[in-house]
Structure 1
Amino acid sequence: MKVALYIRVSTEEQAEEGYSIKAQLNRLESYAASQDWKVVKTYIDDGQSAKDMNRTELTKMLEDINDGIFDCVLVYRLDRLTRSVLDLYTMLNTFEQYNVKFKSATEVYDTTTAMGRLFITLVAALAQWERENMGERIRMGLNQKAKEGKWAINVPPVGFDRAGDFLKINEKEAEVVKEIFDTYLTGLYGMTKIAKMMNDKGYRSKAGVSWKTATIRYVLTNKIYIGTMRYNYRVNKEQYFEVENVVDPIITPEKFYEVQEMIKSRSVKHPRRATSPHIFTGVLKCVRCGGVMNSKTSSMKRNNKKYTSHHYYCNNKRYGTCDAPSIAQSYLEIQFLNKISEWNLKNEVTDYATSSLSEKNNSNIKIIKINNELVELEKRRSKWQYAWVNNMISDDDLRKRNFEEDEKEKKLREELWNLQNNIENNSKDAKLSLLLKDLQKNWSKLETHEKKKFIQLVVKEIKVNKTEQRLTPESVVIESIAFL
């Protein structure tokens, strides 16, 4: 059998008996002779550690395996080849792939016998354990890094660059992000059209590739643009958490959450409906049969001029199960504003604002207390980590304490989310009341797409009927309006 000898010494082992290059070489040559094996090549790593596989002669040996120069690799002791079970298993897989045996002259590591192969099976189990243990430690480290506000992912999002472990704003890319948000908020374009606009302007994503619908959505829904980092958003979702005030915001929270409402409202509508000139598409219900009201556009010429009108009709009319006449959008707009003006919004807004302010103040105090508790929790985690690194507590103790802290954090973050959600909902309700208060005055100043965007954001359902055949606004009756 043709044999390759592998010899290694680290600097501190040079003078030790039995570990010197000469001592290993003599013993391995004698062993090979006793087995009637032919030594065809010797690889010597002088003064190199076995902590990893990044060694000059080891690399050459693994490359030579491809050429079939030898049939077996012989070492004096396993630790000459590697001190890592995982690296050993990797090399043994390579050996097996090219039908090369492995033998330690002084130990039972030996793939030339059945007993040796059994032992290697145990090594494989240890390698799997080491991989899983390493994975746990890496995840724990990355989670801790993220909780400290550090960027634990390789590629930063568009609009930011890495500055060590943290993110800093890339001003040029930040302008692209702002343009994406502002364009979407016009209500005129969907994500696919915005992606095409970005590509036409020569913009590229952070990865240097063209924009797509998915990358536009990622930008529009990523809280990093209001300063909040998400972690475990796509994988390990059961361990998902957010860290606020990680970076300076590119987008205001008001603009960001307005975009989220638009995305939510558009998700249940056909993309063409979202940007059509029909203001009330998707919210109208027929009083007579409860059916959905669809939209249509009619055109006619008069005196060489083209006139366009928009109407709504009950979907069940085409099946012969409803006799509701079509309703002109211009009449519906007038009756919508009349319905709004009937409400005593002034007193309603004043009462709501007073109660909302008090509730918001109480919630903010609770939020500050919870954030302080979260800071203390992170300090305790750091202490447990420090104690573990210095062998003051065991692995089991660390797991137990981390589990306890994770449970506390989970409850605190759930309470925090509920408080923030309540504040957001109350603010949204107050904003809605104020919008409705001034709506009649400002409606005529809005463009069609702005009116449509308002309806999409605040109106859930409008039940409407046409009681007369007359061509007047009074023939249209709005029975009820439900808001989101």
Structure 2
Amino acid sequence: MKVVAYIRVSTKGQGESGLGLEAQRDYITRAAQQNGWEIVGEFVDVVSGKLAIEERPEGFKALALCKEQKAQLVVAKLDRLSRSVLHIAQLMEQIDFKVATMPQADKFQLHLFAALAQQEREFIANRTKEALAALQSRADAGDAVAVQKVKNRSDALAKGRAVADITVANEQRMKNVNAHQATLQPHLLACLYNKVNTLQSVADCLNTKGLRTPRGSEFTPTAVRRLMLAFNVSF
């Protein structure tokens, strides 16, 4: 049987570090070996599980390949497809899929597992909400331990938001740098086409054109070297 492997991690950090990604790939590979599945493709998304798989960039491609190859989709665990019973039920109407950690499960069993998992998440969320409300109530009543716990949680949340803000800012900065570099590429190639053959001469060529680095500075040999590396060009 042909299968298309689909792997999903929720954060960019997990995607870059391989945290969770390699484990999912290992589950799928072992299940394929044990059940005689032929893996005809692999797709990896770094997105939230709140999106339906057809709304994810690589998920959409994985579904298309399944239909093209008449293959089944395979994931390591059910929550890699979705944490929503609705999304999983809708997917069942489109294609057949397998879960590596329970390869013999049929559609009814998978639907049941998805429903139980969603119910457990809702129970946990409610219990957490009730516990936090009780903690806040004790803190409001003057309980010193509760007051400290509320403060610790508030500090942790603030720190998390600060880290998220920094991450977003860095990502935007890199987008701006890449966009600026893209505007410089034709000018760099023109300078190289004119037979300049040192980093300083390229810097002089770009500066003469009135161009500046992403930081707004004049070009130096070091800045030119970085730009040439970004575009994989050389003398």
Query: TM-score, normalised to structure 2's length?
Result: 0.42
Higher relative contact order at CA 8 Å, sep ≥6: structure 1 or structure 2? Answer: 2
Which of the pair is proportionally richer in helix?
Answer: 2
Considering fraction of residues, name the structure with more strand.
1
TM-score using structure 1 length: 0.22
Structure (1 or 2) with the larger CA radius of gyration: 1
